[in-house]
Amino acid sequence: MRAPRLASLLLATSLLPSLAAAATLRGMVSLSDGVVRLADLFDDAGPNAERVLGPAPPPGGRITVPARQLAAIARQYGVAWQPLSADDEVVLERPARSLARTEIIDALRGALIEAGAGADCAVALNNFVTPAVATDTNIHPMVEQIDFDAATSHFTATIGLATAGQAPQHVRVSGHAWPMVDVPVAAARITPGAPIHASDLRIQRMRADQLHGDVVRDPAEADGMMLHHTVLGGQPLLRSDLIRPPLVARGAPVRMTLDQPGISLTLQGQALQDGGMGAVVRVLNPSSSAVLDAEVTGPQTVRVTPGSLPETGPQPPGMMAAGAAP
Q: What is the CATH number of the domain that holds 221?
A: 3.90.1210.10
Q: Are residues 259 and 216 in the same domain?
A: no
Give, as one character, the DSSP assignment of residue 215.
B
CB 201 within 8 A of CB 184: yes
Boundary-marking domain end, from 94, 121, 139: 94
What total number of domains does the chain contain?
4
Query: How far is it, in rounded angstroms, from Cα 312 to Cα 287?
Result: 11
Shared-domain flag, residues 83 and 111: no
Task: Answer yes or no: do 238 and 279 share one domain.
Answer: no
- Is 261 within a domain? yes
Which pLDDT score is estimated for 132? Answer: 77
- Cα-to-chain-centroid distance, residue 39: 47
Q: Are residues 114 and 168 in the same domain?
A: yes
Residue 323 within any structural domain of the chain:
no
Whether residue 174 is contained in a domain is answered as yes
Whether residue 317 is contained in a domain is answered as no
Domain span at residue 28 reads: 23-94
Helix (H) or strand (E) holding 249: none
Q: Distance (Å, rounded) from C-alpha 301 to C-alpha 309? A: 19
Asked if residue 172 and residue 111 are part of one domain, the reply reads: yes
User: In this structure, what DSSP letter does residue 121 have?
Assistant: P
SS3 per residue for 60-71: CCEEEEEHHHHH
Assess whether 112 and 169 both reside in one domain: yes
- Identify the three-state secondary structure at position 242: strand
CB atoms within 10 A of CB 161: 20
Looking at the structure, do residues 264 and 292 belong to the same domain, yes or no?
yes
Residues in the chain where the model's pLDDT stays below 50: 1-20, 315-326
11 in any annotated domain: no
Query: Which of 41, 59, 94 is the last residue in one of the domains?
Result: 94
Q: Give a yes or no: residue 208 inside a domain.
A: yes
pTM for this entry:
0.51
CATH code where residue 294 lies: 2.30.30.760
Same-domain check for residues 41 and 75 = yes
Question: Is 106 found in the same domain as 52?
Answer: no
Task: Judge if 89 and 123 occupy the same domain.
Answer: no
pLDDT at res. 263: 78
Whether residue 160 lies inside any domain: the answer is: yes
Residue where one domain finishes, among candidates 143, 160, 178? 178
Q: Judge whether 59 and 42 are in contact, CB under 8 Å.
A: no
The rounded distance, in Å, linking the Cα atoms of 74 and 24 is 11
Selection from 284, 279, 282, 274 nearest residue 249 by Cα: 274
pLDDT score recorded for residue 129: 80
Question: What pLDDT, on a 0 to 100 scale, did the predictor assign at position 261?
Answer: 77
264 within a domain of the structure (yes/no): yes
